[in-house]
Amino acid sequence: MLQTLIEGPVYVLGDNVDTDQIIPAHYLTYNPSIAAEYRMFGKFALSGVPGEGAGLPKGHVPFHNEADEFVSPYKIILGGRNFGCGSSREHAPIALAAAGILAVVAEFYARIFYRNAINGGYLTPIESAGRLIDTICTGDVLRIDLTTGELLNKTTGDSWKLKPLGEIAPILEAGGIFDYAKTCGMLKS
């Protein structure tokens, strides 16, 4: 089900965050359909992101904290250009969702990550109308209102317009492409 109001701390990344950074290939031996193994995707989400100067615009801040190694304290990821590039790894949005991420806001996405996120209904990929990674800091509390198309930084009071979800909204509302196809009568329940 599509959440129209998403609020929480943000984790800021840079441009060209690829699927190997989101979930490195050696963790693909886990099966996301097994609950205990699904949690492992959350544990290793973003474990391939390099340290300061390579992919992180303002230094390296851990994605997980010591309190819970499986779920991140962050609810939103902010990326730059070409988020989710690289291989067609459908596990990338699964890993972020398993870590507790509800939405990713980026300037634009690699098409395969974008479609995988939508098709599985794992998280909401939202496009920003401008460059935000140089303005918003990791740990800022953001509020995304999909009804008004506004992103509010509750930490600073700044706000920006987001691009509308358009035709992907009903797919996310249904929970993914297969559930959407069932509700439209394209597939038998």
Polymer length in residues for the chain: 189
CB 112 within 8 A of CB 86: no
pLDDT for 53 equals 44
Query: Each residue of 39-64: pLDDT tens digit?
Result: 999 999 999 887 644 444 455 678 88
pLDDT for 51 equals 62
Q: Where are the domains of the chain?
A: 5-183
Query: Each residue of 123-182: pLDDT tens digit?
Result: 999 999 999 999 999 999 999 999 999 999 999 999 999 999 999 999 999 999 999 999
Whole-angstrom Cα distance, residue 160 to residue 33?
37
CB 9 within 8 A of CB 73: yes
Residue 15 CB-half CA count within 13 A: 3
Query: Each residue of 56-115: pLDDT tens digit?
Result: 445 567 888 878 889 999 999 999 999 999 987 889 999 999 999 999 999 999 999 999
pLDDT for 59 equals 54
With tokens 């609020």, the residue in question is 7
Sign, CA dihedral 25-26-27-30, equals positive
Q: Which CATH superfamily is 5-183 part of? A: Aconitase, domain 4 (3.20.19.10)
pLDDT at 117 over 80: yes
